[in-house]
Amino acid sequence: MESENTSFLVQVRRNMLVGLFTLIPIWLTLLLINVILRFINDLAAPIIKWMTSGVNSDGNLYSIIKSPLFNTSLSVFVLLLLFYVVGWVASRYVGQKVLTLFEQTVDRIPVAKSIYRTIKRLADAVQSSSNDIERVVLIEFPSRDMKTVGLVTRTFKDTTTGRELAAVYVPTTPNPTSGYLEIVPVEYVTPTNWKMDEAMSFIISGGADVPKTFNYDKAPRQK
């Protein structure tokens, strides 16, 4: 009887843990979506207020403007327009000067400098093209007996030897916006067949979400 009670309690505890770990990612996803939707809706709030200022509150037009669907649609439009305008300005000479001035200002603030530079490196890694080697790679880090996922941001050559090198950004788990920047000889970089979203999912999940197969081994390093 005691054994049956123990078995029952173990099963209850196991089911509760399974339920907990099932709901946590769902809850976090819904929480993130809620934060994003609130941010998007806040973008349109001043415009909605301006549009309804001269409209009869009893009319159909007022109801349409105040509806959640119109609010969200307008917010998405404003957000996309903001992306376009910022991208257009940033690609022009004046925009680049303003961005340079902003970065110089941020560089004088220790904490802000670290956050901004790290996020910018990650964004650059996502945007970079894979001309020489794959963007998502494995490198020996922090020791030769283990490997970690890295993002190749660019490749260049050693001035003296002409040896090809890769700048590899190594994101940390579970926050990929923080990490390390390593300079690695290209021959020590192991290309993977991962897409960028697969790499991000692997990092954020702490390795729980991983493709069934991937390229890990390569020719051993010469001693």
Q: What is the pLDDT of residue 166?
A: 92
Question: What three-state secondary structure class fits 189?
Answer: coil
At 97, list the tokens.
Answer: 């000067």
Q: Establish if 168 belongs to a structural domain.
A: yes
Residue 182's DSSP bridge partners are: 168
Q: What is the pLDDT of residue 213?
A: 78
The number of folded domains in the chain is 2
Is 58 contained in some domain?
A: yes
Which residues, other chains included, contact 161 with Cβ-Cβ below 8 Å and sequence gap of 6+? none
Q: What is the pLDDT of residue 163?
A: 92
**Residue 99 included in any domain:** no
Per 3-state DSSP, the chain is made up of helix, strand and coil in percentages (nearest 5) of: 55, 15, 30
Residue among 197, 222, 200, 202 at smallest CA distance from 212:
202
With respect to residue 78, please indicate whether it lies within any of the assigned structural domains.
Answer: no
Residue 32 domain-assigned (yes or no): yes
For 7, the domain range is 2-63
Residue 94: what pLDDT? 75
User: What does the pLDDT read at residue 84?
Assistant: 84
Residue 199 sits in a domain whose CATH number is 2.30.30
Residues in the chain predicted with pLDDT less than 50, given as ranges, are 131-133, 219-220, 222-223
Q: What pLDDT, in 10s, does the model give residues 133-181?
A: 458 899 988 888 889 999 888 889 999 999 999 999 888 887 776 788 8
Q: What pLDDT sits at residue 216?
A: 80
Distance CA 21, CA 72 (A): 32
pLDDT for the residue numbered 39: 78
